[in-house]
Amino acid sequence: MRYVIGVDSSTQSTKAAVVEADSGRVLAVGRAAHTVSGEAGARESDPEQWWRALAQAVAAALDGLDPRAVTGIAVAGQQHGLVVLDAAGRPLRPALLWNDTRSAPQAAALTAELGPDAWLERTGSVPVASMTAAKWQWLRENEPRAAHAAAAVRLPHDFLTERLAGVAATDPGDASGTCWYNTATRAYDPGLLDLLGLDAALLPAVAPTGATRVGSLTATAAAALGLPEDIAVAAGTGDNMAAAVGMGLGRAGLLDHPVVSLGTSGTVFTATLARPATAALAGFAAADGTYLPLGCTLNCTLAVDKVAQLLGLDREDAAPGGEAVLLPYLDGERTPDLPGASGLLTGLRHATTPRQLLGAAYEGAAFTLLRALDALPGATATDTPLRLIGGGAQGRTWVDTVRRLSGRPVVLPRTTELVALGAAALAAGAATGEDAVAVATAWGGGDGETLPPLARDQAAWDRIAAVLHTYLRLGTR
C-alpha cells in the first residue's frame, strides 16, 4: 500500500492528511493550531510556527501508520502572505498575511501607476490590499531595513516547500496571487518587478504545475517529520488551487463548475481554459496549467462567529433576518474593495430578535460572496449546482442561507478536507508523473450529496443589495 501526504497550511491551522494513493481514501488527518496577531488592520504570523505545526500535524496523522509507505508530500498554503528571509532562510519578521489590510494605500498607488487595464492584461488581477505586491510595497515604505535585508521573498507555501526539499520553488497558481507574476507569459514580469524594486533573484523558481516534482525530502526534514528521505516533494500550490484539484476541477476533469468556499474568508471560483481579465475577479492561474478566476471576501465564517459571540448565541441558533440587514465587514472588505470598511447594521425594529440579527449576519456574508458569482465564466446558469466547501459547508445554517439566497442546487462533497486532498493529489502526481486532476477525479473528491434548489428569497436579496448600494456610495475605504 502506498501513501501520500497533503498539507493544508491555512490562516488558523495546519492539517495533514495521509491518503491511500490508489483509492484516495483519507486514512488520517492531523491538526495543529496557528497564532495570528495584530490589530487595526494588521494580521501577522511567525512562519516558524507553520513549520512546527506541519511537523506536529504530520506526526499526528501518521500515528499508527507505517511512514515507510509514504511516497510523496505536497503543501497547499494560504495565498498572498509575504515572507521575507535572511541568507540562512530564517524569517526577518513575522509574515504579513493575506487579510492584513495595512497595504491598502500601496495597492491603490500601484493601481494608479499603471491603470487597472494594464494590471489585468499582465497579471489578470488589479492590486488590492491582499495581494503580495502591495504588502512588499508596504514593507519597503514602512520597514525599509527589513526589505533591504531580505535575501529571499517567499509565499507561505513556498517557505514550507523549501523547508521540505531544500529547493526554492513555487507554482503558477500561488505565484499568480502576487501581482508580479504574468499569467499571459507564465513567468515573473520584469517590468512589474522593476516597478516594485524587487530583484527576481530573491524569488523562487516557478515549476510548470503544482504536481511537478521539485525535489526530494531532505535528511533534516525527514528527521523532523519521521518520514523516509528522498520521497517526492511536489511544487504544491495555494489553498484555493488545491481545493480545485481536490474536487477534480481542471483540464482533466470539470470545467466551468462554480465553487463556493466558506472559510475564514469566502471564495467563489471555477476552472476554465480561458484566461480571465475582469476587475471583478482575481484572474489566477490554476495548479494544472488552466485558470482559476476567483472572487474573494474577507469576512465569512469568522465574522459570523464573532456576531454569534457578541449575541451570546450558538452559531446555529439563527433565524432569517427579517427587516434587519447586517454587513459583517469586520476586517474591511476585499470584494467589494473596501479595505477601511467596518460592519454595518440597519433595519432594526422592536420585534427584531437576537436570532434574526445572527441570521442577518449570515445573509450579509453569503450575499456578498454570492454577488461575486455573476462575474465567473459559466456561473450564471441557475440550474448548474454550486459546490459548497469549507468549514461553513458543514454547518446547517450556512448551507440553508446559501440555498435560500442563491435559489440553486447545491452539491456537498463527501470529502471535507479538500485542500489537503488536493495537495495529496499533487503529491501523487509528483511521485508517479500522473495528472493530479485526473488522480483526484478517480478518487471522487468532488462527489457528494446534491440538495435541490430552494425558492430564492428575492426580498432578502434586494434588501441587502439596496443597503450595500448605499454603503458603496458613501465611499468607505
Look at 45-54, 284-293, 329-338 and tell me which has the smallest mean pLDDT.
329-338
Contact 6, 160 (CB under 8 A): no
What integer pLDDT is reported at residue 400 of this predicted model?
97
pTM of the predicted structure, to 2 decimals: 0.91
> Which cell numbers hold the place of 36?
495570528
Q: Are strands 237-238 and 70-77 parallel, antiparallel or unpaired?
A: parallel
Instruction: Note whether 237 and 319 are same-domain residues.
Output: no
Instruction: Note whether 221 and 313 are same-domain residues.
Output: no
Confidence of residue 476 (pLDDT cuts 50, 70, 90): low
| Percent of the chain scoring above 90 in pLDDT | 87
Closest to 248 in 3D by CA, of 414, 116, 134:
414
Instruction: Note whether 430 and 386 are same-domain residues.
Output: no
Instruction: Note whether 393 and 434 are same-domain residues.
Output: no
What integer pLDDT is reported at residue 254 of this predicted model?
86
Instruction: Note whether 125 and 158 are same-domain residues.
Output: yes
What integer pLDDT is reported at residue 100 of this predicted model?
93
Question: Domain holding 460: CATH number?
Answer: 3.30.420.40
Residue 41 lies in a domain: yes
For the stretch 418-472, pLDDT in tens is 999 999 999 999 999 999 999 999 999 889 999 999 999 999 999 999 999 998 8
Mean pLDDT for the chain?
Answer: 95
Residue 185 lies in a domain: yes
Identify the active-site residue in 8, 239, 331, 435: 239
Residue span of the structural domain in which 318 resides: 296-412+451-473
The CA angle 270-477-179, to the nearest 5 degrees, is 45
For the stretch 87-104, pLDDT in tens is 999 999 999 999 999 999
Q: Are strands 410-413 and 386-389 parallel, antiparallel or unpaired?
A: parallel
Residue 266 lies in a domain: no
What integer pLDDT is reported at residue 374 of this predicted model?
84
Residue 8 lies in a domain: yes
Instruction: Note whether 246 and 127 are same-domain residues.
Output: yes
Total number of domains in the chain: 2
Residue 225 has pLDDT above 80, yes or no: yes
Look at 123-132, 332-341, 433-442 and tell me which has the smallest mean pLDDT.
332-341
Distance CA 151, CA 67 (A): 34
- Classify residue 262 by its DSSP letter: E
Contact 54, 9 (CB under 8 A): yes
What integer pLDDT is reported at residue 477 of this predicted model?
52
* Contacts (Cβ under 8 Å, ≥6 apart) of 387: 247, 257, 258, 259, 260, 410, 411, 413, 446
Residue 338 has pLDDT above 70, yes or no: yes
Instruction: Note whether 101 and 200 are same-domain residues.
Output: yes
Residue 260 lies in a domain: no
What integer pLDDT is reported at residue 116 of this predicted model?
96
Residue 190 has pLDDT above 80, yes or no: yes
Closest to 71 in 3D by CA, of 364, 384, 432:
432
Residue 403 lies in a domain: yes
Distance CA 93, CA 426 (A): 30
The CA angle 56-99-360, to the nearest 5 degrees, is 105
Instruction: Note whether 56 and 72 are same-domain residues.
Output: yes
Distance CA 244, CA 286 (A): 8
Does residue 37 sit in helix, strand or coil?
strand
What integer pLDDT is reported at residue 474 of this predicted model?
79
What integer pLDDT is reported at residue 265 of this predicted model?
87
Measured between alpha carbons, how far is residue 317 from residues 306, 359, 456 in Å? 13, 8, 22
Instruction: Note whether 422 and 404 are same-domain residues.
Output: no
Measured between alpha carbons, how far is residue 34 from residues 44, 48, 58, 66, 89 in Å? 11, 10, 15, 27, 20
- Classify residue 180 by its DSSP letter: S
- Classify residue 394 by its DSSP letter: G
314 is catalytic: no
- Strands (E) across 384-447 are located at 386-389, 410-413
Look at 102-111, 149-158, 255-264 and tell me which has the smallest mean pLDDT.
255-264
What integer pLDDT is reported at residue 384 of this predicted model?
84
Instruction: Note whether 157 and 99 are same-domain residues.
Output: yes
Name the binding residues for substrate: 79-80
Instruction: Note whether 140 and 22 are same-domain residues.
Output: yes
User: Count of alpha carbons within 13 Å of 171, Cβ hemisphere only?
Assistant: 37
For the stretch 281-320, pLDDT in tens is 889 999 999 999 999 998 999 999 999 999 999 999 999 9
What integer pLDDT is reported at residue 380 of this predicted model?
67
Residue 475 has pLDDT above 70, yes or no: no
What integer pLDDT is reported at residue 1 of this predicted model?
87
Residue 457 lies in a domain: yes
What integer pLDDT is reported at residue 473 of this predicted model?
85
Residue 271 lies in a domain: no
Instruction: Note whether 81 and 166 are same-domain residues.
Output: yes
